[in-house]
Structure 1
Amino acid sequence: MPTDHVPPGDDPEDGAPILDVRGVSVTYDDVQALDDVSVSLRAGSICGLIGVNGSGKSTLFKALMGLVAPQQGTVELFGRTTAAARRAGLVAYMPQAEEVDWTFPVSVSDVVGMGVYGRLGAARRLRPADRAAVGEALERVGLTDLGRRQIGRLSGGQRKRVFIARSIAQDARLLLLDEPFAGVDQASERTMTALLRDLREEGRSVLVSTHDLAGVPEFCDEAVLLHRRVLAHGHPAAVLTQGNLARAFGAAPSDDDPRPLHPAATGES
């Protein structure tokens, strides 16, 4: 059972998963969104979450954040309940763009500053060290000059980078990114992928949903293929096979074709 009583500075034992989902099922009314999903993620890795629209990707993210309650199964983050991990600032979440009210009157710096709220008192007043953390995060995502701009006045790629900056200011160890590359230009996508690789090198972990199947082998250390259930989980070359993808995307192959979808999945040029 996960616990709420792990001291904030303690991480799981070496080799233990930082994300551990076991037998999770979620139903909305009579619609089965997740069915007996089990998946784990270890520190310092980028994992691509792949599936068609309606496959349960966003529901999985929400279950990880405690925004929906599974009817069965357990979720642990860093050996704790989702609530405890969130209170400790260990996990950060970027929802899909349509779930955010971009008209809300807050600036870019305000949004990034929300990442440090867990370290503040009831007055929610940023201290000099907190302002420095916000400034450093904005610099890392290349948005220093836009700190005073209202969040809705940014481009799609800039908005996504603001959420990454918030997670950096928060010093989150796990980033949950729901379709961060949707609706962004190639330059912004390159900037974000390079930044996420840097965060991985710092020991952070990323679970990212994406439709860019060809880019997964180059960007991700592992992949999860989801269609309400986990169809495959492992190295991208083992997950992104013709047979697996046919099952995930609706076609029924005559056999389990092991060929990868894209040459990059095997490291070929």
Structure 2
Amino acid sequence: MTTHPPQVPPRDPAARDAHPSGPPVLDVRHLGVRYDDVRALDDVTVSLRAGSICGLIGVNGSGKSTLFKALMGLVVPQEGRVELFGDTTASARRAGLVAYMPQAEEVDWTFPVSVSDVVAMGVYGRLGAARRLRPADRAAVADSLDRVGLADLARRQIGQLSGGQRKRVFIARSIAQDARLLLLDEPFAGVDRSSERTMTALLTALRDEGRSVLVSTHDLAGVPAFCDEAVLLHRRVLAQGDPAAVLTQGNLARAFGAAPPDAVPAVPTAARIGDS
């Protein structure tokens, strides 16, 4: 019997200080990334504390995907530094502390692996040279799939799933891995509202367990209810902090040239903007 993820209500802003501040799990200082003569990121400084969800917001070409790749060590910055859990990206990855969901177009969905195989990749770092799953590892994979409501699709080829189901597989992989920091690049792109609500509930529950999430999103209206803080990026960090303070008309105008009226968080309909 499949257990579907609960619909967790938005967290009360008054509860945002429930987790101790402590050192940041993600600490980026004066980061600069160039592709030949194109500067993708310029003097970016941003941090994220434990047990919080941070929404990363910006227009097409603002550098959101480049920032995720720099955090994962997939691009080499020309300036600045990145620390995850007080150490290097490579160290955090070896320890299984960080999990990454790239944009959908960067994944080969035709690769002949099952849903269960993809989730099992989250436990590979704990295996020996033989890469043989132990009973505890198989249980972790099964429990993770059950938690995201995909236990009945464990044997299905990953490309046969819907967009929302594919994204939930990546969340399940991070749960099996027991990652403490999730980096999610446009997880809600191309999914319906029902799947978006399901993933939002999952991420909220993970946050309440003390994990941290950096998520790029187009849903400006949903950020204040879903995220503890927001970062507005346009090659530089234009603002970071409480979503209501970040997503002002003035800040949005700086980021987008002109802030569309329905992009203001007080408006109930969600406004979506271009991919990065």
Instruction: Give 1:224's aligned residue.
Output: 231
CA distance in 2, matches of 1:14, 1:37: 22
The aligned length equals: 246
The structural deviation recorded for 1:251 is 3.2
Conserved 8 A contact 2:222-2:265: no
CA distance in 2, matches of 1:219, 1:116: 28
Conserved 8 A contact 2:223-2:265: no
Identify unmatched segments of 5+ residues in structure 1.
1-12, 253-259
The structural deviation recorded for 1:14 is 6.0
Instruction: Give 1:179's aligned residue.
Output: 186
Q: What SS does the corresponding residue of 2:27 show, helix, strand or coil?
A: strand
Q: What SS does the corresponding residue of 1:243 show, helix, strand or coil?
A: helix
Instruction: Give 1:139's aligned residue.
Output: 146
Moved over 6 A (4+): none
The structural deviation recorded for 1:216 is 0.3
CA distance in 2, matches of 1:106, 1:130: 18
Conserved 8 A contact 2:98-2:181: yes
The structural deviation recorded for 1:262 is 2.3
**Residues 154 and 22 of structure 1, relative CA distance in 2, 3 Å threshold:** same
Q: 1:111 aligns with which of 100, 104, 118?
A: 118
Conserved 8 A contact 2:116-2:154: yes
- Give the partner amino acid of 2:110: T
Indicate whether 1:237 and 2:237 are aligned: no
Indicate whether 1:91 and 2:98 are aligned: yes
CA distance in 2, matches of 1:90, 1:112: 16
| Structure 1 vs Structure 2 CA RMSD | 1.4
Larger relative contact order, structure 1 or 2 (CA cutoff 8 Å, min sep 6): 2
Conserved 8 A contact 1:24-1:73: yes
Q: What SS does the corresponding residue of 1:214 show, helix, strand or coil?
A: coil
- How does 1:5-24 map onto structure 2 within 5 Å? 15-24=22-31
Q: TM-score, length-normalised on structure 2?
A: 0.87
Instruction: Give 1:53's aligned residue.
Output: 60
CA distance in 1, matches of 2:87, 2:251: 32
Instruction: Give 1:39's aligned residue.
Output: 46
CA distance in 1, matches of 2:183, 2:55: 10
CA distance in 1, matches of 2:54, 2:47: 10
**Residues 240 and 14 of structure 1, relative CA distance in 2, 3 Å threshold:** closer
The structural deviation recorded for 1:192 is 0.3
The structural deviation recorded for 1:261 is 1.7
Q: 1:169 aligns with which of 176, 183, 186?
A: 176
Conserved 8 A contact 1:217-1:264: no
The structural deviation recorded for 1:15 is 1.1
Indicate whether 1:66 and 2:73 are aligned: yes
- Give the partner amino acid of 1:192: M
Q: TM-score, length-normalised on structure 1?
A: 0.89
Q: 1:263 aligns with which of 263, 266, 270?
A: 266
Identify unmatched segments of 5+ residues in structure 2.
1-19, 269-276
